[in-house]
Amino acid sequence: MADPDLVYLDHNATTPVCPEAWEAMLPFLRENWANPSSGYRFARPARQAVQTAREQVAALLGAAPEEIVFTSGGTESSNAAIRSAVALHPDRRHLVTCATEHDATLRPCEELAAQGYEVTFLPVDGEGRIDLAAYEAALRPGQTALVSLMWANNETGVIHPIAAAAAMAHARGILFHTDAVQAAGKVPLDLSETRVHCASLSGHKFHAPKGVGVLYVKSGARFHPSQLGGGQEGGRRSGTLNVPGIAAMGAAAEAARSHLAIDHGALARHRDQFEAELIRRIPGVHLHAARAPRLPGTSNFRLDGVDAQGAILLLDTQRICVSGGSACATGSIKPSHVLTSMGLGSRPARETLRVSLARTTTAEELDSALNALQTAAAKLRTTRA
Ligand code: PLP
């Protein structure tokens, strides 16, 4: 049951399962629990559900159904794309990525660097944007195995110029992967119009359950699988399919697509109102990446002199969920690599909060968060003084 008192404003971390996804998955937990690879009639509904979901996800991405490979989520998809490119080009020892990528991309790239690969981690400016000319200069035809550049950043919402970057890589015979985990379902994507070879998606970021995702592999593009076994997904990702999760993700993709078609601008309007009100009510607010192209529902900002962890705890006592610009890694508070790459010092990063909305977010929820932030800022500033 949904908790009516909860004000959840951390949708870039995960989202609640939407009613469409919930309804779509139940039959495959209750009655139609067959393995979709089995040959008997009992397995047909499961097989059909996987095919329907493939078509629904493809429609969200402007892709063909056969370009959709079901995986366990964004981390697996990005790891698989990177490992595939490296395996396909054993003679190419260079990769290009960006300093603000998610760990699902950074960690495998760092591991390759430790194995002797050269990895260019593109810097970003103060708004979180890459410089396309610097990107182009980093591409090395015949040497670069892969570019991996995220479509949209999970902390700031900054959108990279993926179509242009993919075209530049393609013109030089270089494979291109994009982590589209935060973009899918939030902004229109048309992969058929881009030169992207692989793209990662994660169901739980667009109202499907956790533990299910997609790797898009462009038709005709070569792919080397990481996971070997029963040969499911055309040999591109072995393992018995998570039918309930996949059916749910298909329904969630369809719901996201129809929502995008109806009111693409609503989320941005909500976010902009929230930010305007934040600045009006609280002194010392700095919006991050507000001049860059951004996801419509993400707001990343700093409250001068307010410890973000303290604010998160105070909001939590009122059942309001937001997140910060630093993460607790092995017991110590580490400033986010995204913010430090944008030139923020560790103190401003520790004063940074992220509020992320969904299509279900209401004006009342945002108002409660604004009230709570106003009180928390005043209280934490007094404590410090
Ligand atoms: N990439 C981005 C940009 C993300 O925000 C996340 C999740 O936080 C992931 C990858 C990882 O996805 P998953 O949780 O499905 O492994």
CB 110 within 8 A of CB 82: no
Whether residue 268 is predicted with pLDDT greater than 80 in this model: the reply is yes
Instruction: Give the pLDDT score at 1.
Output: 60
Q: What is the pLDDT of residue 382?
A: 84
d(CA 118, CA 121) in angstroms, rounded, equals: 10
* Contact present, 232 and 35 (Cβ < 8 Å): no
CA angle 154, 156, 159 (to 5 degrees): 80
Nearest-CA residue for atom 13 of ligand 1: 74
Render pLDDT for 25-40 as a digit per residue (tens, 0 to 9).
999 999 999 999 999 9
- The size of the chain, in residues, is 385
326 pLDDT higher than 70? no
* CA 298 – CA 354 distance, rounded (Å): 7
The set of catalytic residues is 328
> Which residue has a Cα nearest atom 5 of ligand 1?
154
Q: What is the 3-state secondary structure (H, E, C) of 12-60?
A: CCCCCCCHHHHHHHHHHHHCCCCCCCCCCHHHHHHHHHHHHHHHHHHHH
Query: Which numbered atom of ligand 1 lies nearest the CA of 77?
Result: 16
Q: How confident is the model over 339-365, as pLDDT tens digits? A: 999 999 999 999 999 999 999 999 999
Averaged over 74-81, what is the pLDDT? 98
Helix axes 243-262, 44-61, angle to 10 degrees: 30
Q: What tokens appear for 170 in the block?
A: 């393609």
Residue 213 Cβ inside 6 Å of ligand 1? The answer reads: yes
CB-ligand 1 contact for 60 (6 Å cutoff): no
- What rounded mean pLDDT belongs to the chain? 96
Give 333's pLDDT tier (boundaries 50, 70, 90). confident
In this predicted structure, the answer to whether residue 327 has a pLDDT above a threshold of 70 is no
In short, whether 181's Cβ falls inside 6 Å of ligand 1 is: yes
Q: Stretch 59-64: mean pLDDT, rounded?
A: 98
Please provide the distance, in angstroms rounded to a whole number, between the alpha carbons at the two ends of the chain: 43
3-state secondary structure of 93: coil
Is 207 a residue whose pLDDT tops 60?
yes
Question: Which residues, other chains included, contact 313 with Cβ-Cβ below 8 Å and sequence gap of 6+?
Answer: none
Question: What is the model's pTM?
Answer: 0.97
pLDDT tens-digit series, residues 17-27: 999 999 999 99
| Residue 79: alpha-carbon gap to chain centroid | 14
How far does the centroid of ligand 1 lie from the alpha carbon of residue 223, in Å?
A: 21
pLDDT surpassing 60 at residue 328: no
| Cα–Cα distance for residue pair 33/41, rounded to 1 Å | 12
Is residue 325 predicted with pLDDT exceeding 80? no
Which atom of ligand 1 has the smallest separation from the CA of 182?
A: 3
Q: How far is the CA of 104 from the centre of ligand 1 (A)?
A: 7
**Of 233-242, 253-262, 276-285, which gets the smallest average pLDDT?**
253-262
* CB 339, CB 349: distance < 8 Å: yes
Q: What is the pLDDT of residues 85-139, one digit of tens each?
A: 999 999 999 999 999 999 999 999 999 999 999 999 999 999 999 999 999 999 9
Distance 371 CA to ligand 1 centre (A): 30
Is any ligand 1 atom within 6 A of the Cβ of residue 197?
Answer: no
Ligand 1 atom nearest to 12, measured from its CA: 5
How large is the average pLDDT for residues 300-311? Answer: 97
Tell how far the Cα of 76 is from the centroid of ligand 1, in angstroms: 9
Q: Which residue has the tokens 């559900």?
A: 49
**Burial class for 41, CB neighbours closer than 10 Å (0-12, 13-18, 19+):** exposed
**Is residue 259 in contact with ligand 1, taking CB distance under 6 Å?**
no
Residue 273 and residue 299 in contact, taking contact as beta carbons nearer than 8 Å: no
| Ligand 1 centroid to residue 141 C-alpha, Å | 29
